[in-house]
Structure 1
Amino acid sequence: MGSFFDGKKLLLVDDQRAFQVMMKAMLQNIGLSDITLADNAEEALKICKNKKFDIFLVDYNLGTGRNGRQLLDELRQNDLIPTSSLFFIITGDNSRAMVLSALEMEPDDYLMKPFSQNQFLLRLQRSVEKKRTLHDLFFYLQKQDYPKVVDLCDQHIQDNPRYAGFCRCLRAEIHLKLKEPQKAIDDLEPLIEKTPVTWAKIMLGRAYVQVERFDDAEPLLRSVVRKNPLQVEAYHWLAQCYDQRQEGDRALKILAQATELSPQSINLQKMTAKIAMRNNDYGLLKESLSNVLDLSRHSLKQNPQYLDNYIGSLILFAQHSGDPYHIANLSKQVNTVLFKAKRELIRDPDFDFDHFEDICHARVQIARGDLMQGKKKLYKASESCLKELSESDPALISSTIHGLLQLGEFEYAQTLSEHLKGRDGVDSLTSATLDIVKEGDQLSKKQEQYNQLNREGIQAYQSGDYLQALECFRGALKKLPANTSAVLNKIQALIHIIKSDKKKTSGEFRTECRNALGLLEGLPLGEAHQQRFEQLNDEFQELK
C-alpha cells in the first residue's frame, strides 16, 4: 500500500487547527508526505485552481461560508477533481440530516469523527482499490461517453464480481439518463426477483415512473420507504409518481417527510416548489423558494434565478391571498428581500442588480393595480437587457417575462420564453415556473377570453364594421388592460371611425384615440409594435 502513496498529493480542509495537526501526523504515519492544509472552502478553491490533488479530506462543517458539501459541488462544477482522485467527507456531527445531506452528494466515502488510523487506512484502501479496478469506467463517465460506460459496466460485471452491484446500478442509471427506461427495466426486474436489493428497487421505481407505469412504481417505492425510511431518493420518486398521476396533495405529503429527513436538500425544496405551484399552494411555494434561496447563499456562483423565483412567489402569494394587507405590504417585503440579497446573496459583479431591482419594483407596481405606470417602468428597466438577449442574465429575462405575463403581454412574453428555453444556464425551476404560470387557470382563462374578443374585433374590422370592432377591442382591453396589441387595434378602429365621420361630431372618439396613443407614448416597444404605433400616430395627427 505504501507504494501507492509515493508522490500522491492530499488536501485536508478543516477549520479546527487541533484536528489538522492530529490528522497530518496520522497521514504521515501511513506514508503520505505531500499534504496541503486549508482552513475553509474559499481557501481550498483557490488552492485547487493551481494544484491537482489525488485525495481530498474535507470536513462538512467549515464555520462561516461554504460547507464541505458545497465545496464538493463547486469543485465538480469547475472540473477540479481528477477522475482518479478520492473525495472523503468527514464530520463530527452524526445527526441524520447531516449524514443524508453529505451522502446525497455521493462522495467516495464518509467518515465520522473520531476515527482511528486503522479505520481510516482500511476505508482508504477500499476506495483506492475500487478506483484502481474501475479506473477506465470512471474516466469515460467523467467524459460523459455513456455508451462506452455501459459497455465497460457489462465487462466489469463479468470480470470483477466484487463490483458487480455497483456496475449494475451505474448501468441502470445511464439507461435512465439516456431516456432508455425500458432497458433499465429489462435489466432490473430479473435482478430483483433473485435479490431484492434496495438500490435496485429504487432504480426500478424510477424507470416505472418514466414509462408511466405508476401502479407498478407506487407499491415498489412504498415498500422501500417502509423498510428503509432513510432512503430519501425513494421518497423523491414516489412524489414524482403521485405528481404525474395528478395527486398533488399526496406528492407534497411525501416530500414533507423527505424534507424532514434531509432539510438541506435543495433538490427536494425545488421539487416541492414546482408541485406547490401546480397545486396553487402559494404559501408553501413561498416557503420552499425561501429555503432554496437560503440553501444557495454560500455557493461560489450565487444563482440570481433563485432570487427571481422567490420574489415571484411573494407576488403570487399577495395576488392570490384575497387579503388587501398582503398587496399593501408587498412593496415592503420585496424591498427587504432585495436589500438583503444585494448585501449578502448576490455578489456576482457581472449581474446587473440595479436593473433587476427596477424590474422587480415594476412587477410590484403592476401587482398593486397601477398597470400603465408599472408597464412603463418594466419596459424602461428591461430595455437594455432585451437589446442584447444573448448576453443578459436569465434572471433578468425571466423576471421581465413574469412582468409581461402580469400585464397580459402574451405575445412578447412567448417570444422571450422561446429564447430562454434555448439558453444554457437556465435553472429547471425557472423553466418550470414560467410554464406553470402561463398555464395557470386564471391567466389561461383571461388569455382565452381576450383572444376571442380580439379575433371578433379583427373580423368586424376586416368586414368594415368599425364600431363593432371598437366594442370588441374595448372588451379585450377590459380583460387585459395593458395589452399593447389590443391598444393598437383600438386606435386603428378609432381612426377609421373618425375618418368616416362626415359631420365632424367624433370628439369623444378623438379624445379616446388621443388617450390611447398617450398610453404607449415613450414606451420602448418591440420593433413591429413601434412601427405600427408611429404609423397610427402619424395618421391621427393628419386628422387634426
Structure 2
Amino acid sequence: MNNKTLENQRVLIVDDQRAFQLMFKGILYSMGATNVAFAPTGEQALAKCANGSYDILFVDYHLGVGKNGKQLLEDLREKKLLAPHSIFMLVTGENTVPMVMSAVELEPDDYVVKPFSQSVLRSRIQRIQRKKTQLATLYQALFDEQPELVIDLCQHEILKEGRYQQFCKRVLVENLLATERYDEAALILENTLSQRRNGWAVLLMAKLSFLKQNYAESLVLCKEAIEDNRYFAEAYDIQAKSFLAIGEIDEAFSSIQAAAEIAPFNMPRQYLLIEIARELDNIPQQVQASKQLYEITRRSIKQDVVHLLNYIRTIIDAAVRADDPQQRNRYLQEVSLALQRVKRDEGMMRDIDFGLFELLCQARLESLSGAQYQAKKVYASVAEQLVEQHQILPDAVFLLNQIGEFEQASSLTKLVPEELMSNPLLKTLFSDQQHHVDHKQMQFGELNKAGIQSYKQGNFTQAVQQFESALDLAPMNTGAALNLIQASIQLLNRQQKRKSTELFERCKKTFRVVDNMPLPDHHRSRYTDLLQQFEKLREEFRR
C-alpha cells in the first residue's frame, strides 16, 4: 500500500475543533503529508486560499459561527480560488438526510462521515487524484467556463471508452442542455438509456422533456428516478415544475415540499417553493421559505441584503393578508423579532440605511392597525431620503399602496432599479400587492369618478358621500381628500350656520390627510387654494 499519497501536496484542514485538527494531522502525516495548514473558520479558510492555492482541502460541514463547509465551497468556486486539480472533501459527524443530500447536491469531490478509517480516506483520495489527472484538460475547461470546449473534450474522452466515459457523458449532456443543443442531448441519452437505466440519464432525460414542454413524459421519467432513489431531490424539482406547468398545483406543492425536506439548502428550490405556495395562498410556507433563503445566503458568497429585506417584507405581507387576528399578531411579533435580530448582525446592514427601512416597516404595521395618519406622517418624514436608498424604495411603494396613495406609489415604482426587480421574490411581492391594489383602485376610481360627476351636477351632498366612501378604501389618498374638502366647502356655502358644525369638523379632519405632507405641484396649489377658502368660511361663520 502506498503511504505517500499526500507527498508534496499542500493540505488545508478546516475545522473548529482543535482536538480533531491534531488527530487528523496525524493521519495525514502517516499518508505522506508534510505541508498541512489549519483554519478554524470558513472566513479564515477563504483568506488562506486567497493568498495561495491548496491541493487538498478537508472541510468540516459545521464550523460554528460564520460560514459552513457548503458555503465555503460555494465561495471558493465563485471566486475561482479552487484550482481545477484541487480536491475538496467535506467531512462531518452528522449523517441526517437533509445535511448529506444538501452537501452532495453541491458536488464536492467527496463527502466522508466521521469516524472514518485511514484506508478508506486513502483509497478515496487516490481515486479522485487519478480522475483529476486523467481529465485535467476537461476540469480546466469546466473551471474556465468554456462549454463548447467541454463538449469537445467529453466527446473525445467517450470515444476512448475509458473508465470515465459515464462521467463524461453526463457532463456532455449537461453542457448540451445548457447550450440548447437538445437534439444532440436526446441522441446520447436515448443511447445510454437503451443500454442501462442510469439514474443521471433518467434525470437528464426528464429535464430535457421538461425543456421541450413534453410534461407528461417528464413526469413519467421523474417517477422512475424517484422510485429508483427516493432521496433524488432534483427529480422532485423537475416533477414539481412539470406539475406546475400543467396546472396541477397541489401535486406540484407535494413534490417541491419533498425536495425541500430532502435537501433544503438550495436557493432555486426555495424560490420554486414560494412560487407554488403563493399559487395555493399558503402563507406560512411562503414565510418559512423566505426565511430559509435568508439563512442560506446569510454567510455565503450569495449574501445580499435583499434576502433579509424580502424575509421581513414577506412576514409583513403575510400579516396584511391574514384573516385570523391571532395569526396576524404572530406575524407582527415575528417582524419585531426579525428586526431586532438584524440589528445584532452588522454585516447585513452595511449596504442600506436600516433605520429608514425599519421606519417604513413600522409604518406599514401602524397602517395595518388602523393608524393611517401616523403611517403617512412617517412617509412624509423620510420621503426626501428615499431617492438615495434604492434598496428601500419598494417598501415605500408598499406603504403608499397600503394607505391608498396610489398615484404617488405609481410614480415611485418607476424609480425602482430594474436589477432589483430581477429578484423573483421581490417581483412576486410587487405583483401580488399590485393585483390586490388594482381591484381596490378600480373600486376607488369608480367612487371618486362618481363623486366628481355628482359635484359637476351640483349635488354636493351626494358628492361628499361618494368621496367619503372612496376614502374608506384609500384612507390617505390625497386626490380624494382634496375632492372631499372641495365638495364640503361648496356644501358649507349652502348650509345654515347651525347645520354646519359637524361638516366643519369633518372637513378639518380631512385636511389632516394632506397637512404637512409632500405633495406634487398640482396637488400643492389646489391644497393652498382650498385651505384659504376653508379659513375664510370659518372666519365668516365665527362672526
Contact 2:199 2:228 in 1 (8 A): no
Q: Any idea what SS the aligned residue of 1:110 has?
A: strand
Counterpart pick for 2:428 among 426, 432, 450 = 432
> Bigger shift: 269-278 or 421-430?
421-430
Matches within 5 A, 1:369-388: 369-381=370-382, 383-384=384-385, 386-388=386-388
Report the AA paired with residue 58 of structure 2: L
- Indicate the residue corresponding to 2:486 in structure 1: 494
Matches within 5 A, 1:455-534: 476-484=470-478, 486-487=480-481, 490=483, 494=486, 516=510, 518-524=512-518, 530-534=520-524
Count how many residue pairs are aligned between Structure 1 and Structure 2.
529
Contact 1:331 1:361 in 2 (8 A): no
- Indicate the residue corresponding to 2:203 in structure 1: 202
Report the AA paired with residue 84 of structure 1: H
Show CA shifts across 1:96-133 (max 9, x none): 23211210221121123333444333322332333334
How far off is 1:246 after superposition?
A: 2.6
- Indicate the residue corresponding to 1:96 in structure 2: 97
- Matches of 1:21 and 1:288, distance apart in 2: 39
Show CA shifts across 1:200-251 (max 9, x none): 2212222333333221211211121122101111111111222233322222
Which structure: larger Rg? 2
Show CA shifts across 1:495-536 (max 9, x none): 8x96999979998999877655542333345xxxx2222222
After superposition, the Cα gap between the structure-2 partners of 1:101 and 1:380, relative to the gap in structure 1 and judged at 3 Å, is: same
How far off is 1:406 after superposition?
A: 2.4
Contact 2:5 2:31 in 1 (8 A): no
After superposition, the Cα gap between the structure-2 partners of 1:39 and 1:521, relative to the gap in structure 1 and judged at 3 Å, is: same
- Indicate the residue corresponding to 1:34 in structure 2: 35
How far off is 1:280 after superposition?
A: 0.9
- Matches of 2:16 and 2:454, distance apart in 1: 74
Report the AA paired with residue 434 of structure 2: K
- Matches of 2:77 and 2:67, distance apart in 1: 15
How far off is 1:541 after superposition?
A: 5.2
Contact 2:492 2:503 in 1 (8 A): no
Report the AA paired with residue 486 of structure 2: L
> Bigger shift: 215-224 or 58-67?
58-67
Structure 1, unaligned runs of 5 or more = none
> Bigger shift: 184-193 or 109-118?
184-193
- Matches of 2:339 and 2:507, distance apart in 1: 39
- Indicate the residue corresponding to 2:73 in structure 1: 72
- Matches of 2:400 and 2:349, distance apart in 1: 26
Report the AA paired with residue 286 of structure 2: L
- Matches of 1:425 and 1:54, distance apart in 2: 40
- Indicate the residue corresponding to 2:286 in structure 1: 285
Q: Any idea what SS the aligned residue of 2:158 has?
A: helix
Matches within 5 A, 1:391-402: 392=390, 394=391, 396-402=392-398
Show CA shifts across 1:315-344 (max 9, x none): 343333323334456544422221122225
TM-score by length of 2: 0.82
How far off is 1:13 after superposition?
A: 0.7
How far off is 1:302 after superposition?
A: 4.8
- Indicate the residue corresponding to 1:537 in structure 2: 527
- Indicate the residue corresponding to 1:422 in structure 2: 418
Contact 2:142 2:150 in 1 (8 A): yes
- Matches of 2:414 and 2:149, distance apart in 1: 34
> Bigger shift: 2-11 or 140-149?
2-11
How far off is 1:269 after superposition?
A: 3.8
After superposition, the Cα gap between the structure-2 partners of 1:157 and 1:431, relative to the gap in structure 1 and judged at 3 Å, is: farther
Q: Any idea what SS the aligned residue of 1:520 has?
A: coil
Report the AA paired with residue 172 of structure 1: V
Report the AA paired with residue 398 of structure 2: H
Q: Are positions 1:306 and 2:300 aligned together?
A: no
- Matches of 1:329 and 1:352, distance apart in 2: 26
Q: Any idea what SS the aligned residue of 1:280 has?
A: coil
Matches within 5 A, 1:54-69: 54-69=55-70
After superposition, the Cα gap between the structure-2 partners of 1:451 and 1:198, relative to the gap in structure 1 and judged at 3 Å, is: farther
How far off is 1:137 after superposition?
A: 3.6
- Matches of 2:29 and 2:171, distance apart in 1: 35
Question: RMSD in angstroms over aligned alpha carbons?
Answer: 3.9
Show CA shifts across 1:343-381 (max 9, x none): 258644343221121121111112222223213324534
After superposition, the Cα gap between the structure-2 partners of 1:324 and 1:172, relative to the gap in structure 1 and judged at 3 Å, is: same
After superposition, the Cα gap between the structure-2 partners of 1:327 and 1:89, relative to the gap in structure 1 and judged at 3 Å, is: closer
Q: Any idea what SS the aligned residue of 2:344 has?
A: helix
- Matches of 1:261 and 1:314, distance apart in 2: 25
TM-score by length of 1: 0.82
- Matches of 2:86 and 2:407, distance apart in 1: 51
Report the AA paired with residue 441 of structure 2: Q
Q: Any idea what SS the aligned residue of 1:83 has?
A: coil
Matches within 5 A, 1:166-245: 166-178=167-179, 184-185=185-186, 187-245=188-246
Matches within 5 A, 1:397-408: 397-408=393-404
After superposition, the Cα gap between the structure-2 partners of 1:257 and 1:20, relative to the gap in structure 1 and judged at 3 Å, is: same
Q: Are positions 1:447 and 2:441 aligned together?
A: yes
> Bigger shift: 404-413 or 11-20?
404-413
After superposition, the Cα gap between the structure-2 partners of 1:241 and 1:382, relative to the gap in structure 1 and judged at 3 Å, is: farther
Contact 2:237 2:259 in 1 (8 A): yes
Show CA shifts across 1:426-477 (max 9, x none): 64333333334434xx44422343455567778x599998969887765544
Structure 2, unaligned runs of 5 or more = 537-543
- Matches of 2:149 and 2:405, distance apart in 1: 48
- Matches of 1:200 and 1:465, distance apart in 2: 76
- Indicate the residue corresponding to 2:338 in structure 1: 337
How far off is 1:295 after superposition?
A: 4.6
After superposition, the Cα gap between the structure-2 partners of 1:348 and 1:330, relative to the gap in structure 1 and judged at 3 Å, is: closer
> Bigger shift: 10-19 or 307-316?
307-316
Q: Any idea what SS the aligned residue of 1:79 has?
A: coil
- Indicate the residue corresponding to 2:540 in structure 1: none
How far off is 1:300 after superposition?
A: 6.7
- Indicate the residue corresponding to 1:81 in structure 2: 82
- Matches of 2:134 and 2:459, distance apart in 1: 80
